């Protein structure tokens, strides 16, 4: 028996009828399934659903929930990086105030012009405070990015384990599976 297949813009047509106008469950998680024994579309959908539930039960991972968690974690990482970068705002002014006070005190002790000493102290204090704040901001941003990357990697491993279990189940039902 020969089956005529025509693929047009992502839609498969078999012998003139629409075969798959929407993605199968497997395709939505980037798993490709082919029925080795010519199982009909309805049977394949049923088998995919059963294998999906079996894989969730046996791995403890639901790829759709994991994808949502990964998106939320990525958004949280971006917010943490932005907060870390914004932490430097105002550091120069705070450092200038502290530097001016220290400069004025040193000027008074050294019996020099207090205003000149305070101005010099303000400059030194502002520069030092900005440097410390920038270094702290960079460290916090790097830590947030590392944490986010670790979360993404753990999620990818869980999804990979799910796909293995899903595939094993489908293969036992006589499907060819690739991911």
Domain boundaries, the chain: 72-153
For each of the chain's 179 residues, which pLDDT tens digit applies?
333 333 333 333 344 444 445 789 999 999 999 999 999 999 999 999 999 999 999 999 999 999 999 999 999 988 988 887 776 665 556 666 666 566 655 655 665 666 776 677 667 776 777 777 778 778 888 888 898 899 999 999 999 999 999 999 999 999 999 99
Contact 127, 103 (CB under 8 A): no
């Amino acid at each position: 028996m020969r089956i005529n297949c025509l693929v047009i813009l992502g839609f498969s047509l078999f012998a003139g009828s629409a075969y798959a106008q929407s993605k199968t469950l497997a395709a939505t998680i980037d798993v490709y399934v082919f029925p080795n024994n010519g199982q009909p579309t309805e049977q394949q959908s049923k088998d995919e659903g059963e294998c999906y539930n079996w894989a969730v039960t046996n791995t403890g991972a639901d790829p759709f929930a994991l994808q949502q968690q990964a998106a939320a974690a990525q958004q949280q990482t971006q917010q943490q990086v932005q907060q870390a970068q914004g932490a430097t705002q105002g550091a120069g002014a705070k450092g200038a105030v502290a530097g001016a006070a220290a400069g004025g005190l040193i000027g008074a002790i050294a019996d020099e012009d207090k205003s000149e000493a305070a101005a010099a102290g303000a400059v030194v204090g502002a520069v030092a405070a900005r440097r410390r704040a920038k270094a702290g901001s960079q460290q916090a941003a790097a830590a947030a990015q590392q944490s986010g990357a670790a979360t993404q990697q753990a999620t990818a491993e869980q999804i990979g384990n799910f796909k293995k279990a899903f595939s094993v189940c489908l293969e036992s039902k006589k499907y060819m599976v690739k991911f």
